């Protein structure tokens, strides 16, 4: 029988007792045992067991278990699931301590922990188990001791949870602060970027306005120059016309004066000199006399003559 293999396990059952002692077991055949729930008393003494698998704790029908004279160094944390267990023999093993879940064995009435290298506090709580009374007291004291240890463990667990929560809160707070700083930095960066773009836009607009103003000034100067040119041209044309007209009238007046002077000279020659009897002066004199007569017939001329006479 090696590594938990048991042949003809049914033949080892006597009533409600299953005897697997001295079977050279290194593992407990849990699946085989689970097939016989009526076997509530299990004897596994004098084997080579070093540990119990957590599956062993699923045998909740067991009332009495004998694990004495093995090599057990620890018990599974799930041992508290053996809710029907009343009698547990762990004599002569290598146990130093018991799992906290041991305190859940509320039905346990009898316990033997002799010849185990127990921790001092647990050894003191267990005491001796030399008779039925002492073994019952051992079970009671050990359960009480394990309950205290469980309470301490729960407190420690609670403290660890509180510390973990505090650390988590601090971590979350630091993360929030970091996110807030990053958000503020990002906000500041965006504001700076916006301010930079605004300044660039203002500078661009100012440059555009200056260029537009310069363009308008150039256009204004150009228009003023054009207008001045037009004005000068328009002023020059009338001046030239007036000059030409003045020159023309001056020449015309001079010609007229020359003509008058010439005519007057001819008339004077034909009237006052001996040439009046010449052939070319006769028509001149005739026309002169007719003109004088005609002028004397005018009222204006008569008035002028009268005023001259009065003088």
Instruction: Check: CB of residue 110 under 8 Å from CB of residue 139.
Output: yes
**Spans of the chain, pLDDT less than 50:** 1-4
128 CB neighbour count, 10 Å cutoff: 12
Is the CB of residue 85 less than 8 Å from the CB of residue 63?
A: yes
Q: Are 87 and 69 in contact (CB under 8 A)?
A: no
Q: What is the 3-state secondary structure (H, E, C) of 76-131?
A: CHHHHHCCCCCEEECCCCCCCCCCHHHHHCCCCCEEECCCCCCCHHHHHHHCCCCC
Query: What are the domain boundaries of the chain?
Result: 10-152, 273-310
Q: Report which of 47, 113, 56, 114 is spatially closest to residue 85, judged by C-alpha positions.
A: 56
pLDDT for res 29: 94
Q: What is the pLDDT of residue 261?
A: 72
CB 39 within 8 A of CB 18: yes
Could you tell me if residue 7 is left (phi over 0), alpha (psi between -120 and 50 degrees) or otherwise beta?
A: beta
Q: For the domain bounded by 10-152, which CATH number is listed? A: 3.80.10.10
| Alpha-carbon gap, residue 284 to 278, rounded angstroms | 10
**What local confidence, expressed as pLDDT, does residue 124 receive?**
95
Per-residue confidence (pLDDT) for residue 306, from 0 to 100: 67
Contacts 24+ apart (CB under 8 A), 43-49: 43/17, 43/18, 43/19, 44/20, 44/70, 45/21, 45/69, 45/70, 45/89, 46/21, 46/22, 46/70, 47/20, 47/21, 47/22, 47/23, 48/24, 49/25
Q: What pLDDT score does 145 carry? A: 95
Half-sphere exposure of 300 (CA within 13 A, CB side): 2
Find, among 121, 59, 58, 65, the residue nearest to 93 by Cα.
65
Q: Which pLDDT belongs to residue 2?
A: 42
In terms of Cα–Cα distance, which of 116, 19, 18 is closest to 71? Answer: 116
């Amino acid at each position: 029988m090696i590594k938990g293999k048991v042949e003809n396990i049914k033949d080892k059952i006597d009533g409600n007792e299953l005897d697997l002692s001295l079977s050279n077991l290194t593992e407990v055949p849990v699946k085989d045992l689970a097939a016989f729930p009526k076997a509530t008393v299990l004897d596994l003494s004098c084997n080579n067991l070093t540990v119990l698998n957590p599956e062993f704790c699923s045998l909740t029908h067991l009332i009495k278990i004998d694990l004495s004279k093995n090599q057990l160094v620890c018990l599974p944390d799930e041992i508290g699931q053996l809710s029907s267990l009343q009698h547990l023999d762990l004599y002569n093993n290598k146990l130093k301590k018991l799992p906290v879940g041991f305190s859940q064995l509320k039905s346990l009435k009898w316990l033997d922990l002799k010849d185990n290298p127990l921790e001092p506090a647990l050894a003191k709580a267990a005491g001796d188990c030399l008779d039925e009374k002492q073994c019952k007291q051992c079970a009671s004291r050990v359960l009480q001791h394990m309950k205290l240890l469980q309470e301490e463990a729960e407190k420690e667990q609670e403290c660890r949870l509180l510390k973990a929560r505090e650390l988590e809160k601090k971590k979350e707070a630091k993360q929030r602060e970091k996110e807030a700083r990053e958000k503020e930095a990002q906000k500041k960066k965006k504001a700076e970027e916006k301010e930079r773009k605004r300044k660039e836009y203002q500078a661009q607009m100012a440059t555009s306005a200056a260029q537009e103003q310069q363009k308008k000034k150039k256009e204004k100067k150009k228009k003023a120059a054009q207008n001045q040119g037009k004005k000068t041209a328009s002023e020059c044309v009338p001046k030239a016309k007036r000059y030409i007209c003045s020159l023309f009238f001056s020449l015309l007046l001079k010609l007229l004066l020359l003509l008058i002077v010439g005519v007057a000279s001819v008339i004077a020659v034909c009237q006052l000199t001996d040439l009046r009897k010449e052939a070319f002066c006769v028509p001149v004199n005739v026309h002169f006399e007719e003109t004088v007569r005609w002028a004397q017939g005018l009222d204006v001329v008569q008035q002028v003559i009268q005023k001259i006479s009065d003088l």
